[in-house]
Amino acid sequence: MTFHTTDLSDKHGDRVHVAEPIFRHFGKRVHFAGPIATLKVFEDNTLVRAALETAGHGRVLVVDGGGSLRCALVGGQLGELAVQNGWSGIVVWGCVRDTAELAAHDVGVLALAPHPRKSVKRGEGCRDIPLHFAGVAFVPGGWLYADEDGLVVTPEPLA
């Protein structure tokens, strides 16, 4: 799939919702897109692992980690799972770790920052619910497009 978020924004105007520029790229894949799957967790990545262990079918897993900067929700092992199971990308409103490993995995990974501490494992959180952060709504089944210029969300596929 060839696209540029700048072109999508220019061509589709109000149908494209542009996220605030708060994310950094950590995965090998800078251009990625796909239907959105969502998780809401807080300093617990149990559901993140469970989601990435399932077939991704080119989807993007959007994780609302509450913007926590106290631990990582995704690391090298989860990046590898994402590749093995066909996920296009992962967007984390929170932190990641094992950044050298993530950079070697052919998956898009956007997050706020790196952090060496792992998360807890309580199995708490919600999946497949609308999320709102970075100034946009992430709705399961909507579409996410990311590249070096930013991240945009739309209700349906555009490119």
Give the pLDDT confidence of 62-91 residue by residue, as tens digits.
999 999 999 999 999 999 999 999 999 999
Beta strands at 126-127 and 108-114: parallel, antiparallel or unpaired: unpaired
Residues 6+ apart with CB under 8 A from 142: 35, 36, 153, 154, 155, 156
Percentage of the chain exceeding pLDDT 70: 99
**Tokens at 145, concatenated:** 């497009």
Predicted confidence band of residue 159 (pLDDT cuts 50, 70, 90): low
Residues 6+ apart with CB under 8 A from 62: 36, 37, 38, 39, 90, 91, 131, 138, 144
- Tell me the helices (H) and strands (E) count for the chain, helix number first: 4, 12
- Spatial separation of the C-alpha atoms in residues 76 and 138, rounded to whole Å: 24
Domains observed in the chain:
5-151 (3.50.30.40)
Strands (E), the chain: 17-18, 24-25, 32-40, 60-64, 72-74, 89-96, 108-114, 126-127, 131-133, 136-138, 143-147, 150-154
Nearest to 33 by CA among 54, 14, 60, 63: 60
pTM for the predicted model, two decimal places: 0.97
Average pLDDT in the chain:
97
> Residue 32 — φ and ψ, nearest 5°?
-155, 155
- Spatial separation of the C-alpha atoms in residues 69 and 88, rounded to whole Å: 24
Segment 109-131 mean pLDDT: 97
pLDDT for 18: 97
Residues 6+ apart with CB under 8 A from 133: 64, 67, 93
Segment 100-109 mean pLDDT: 98
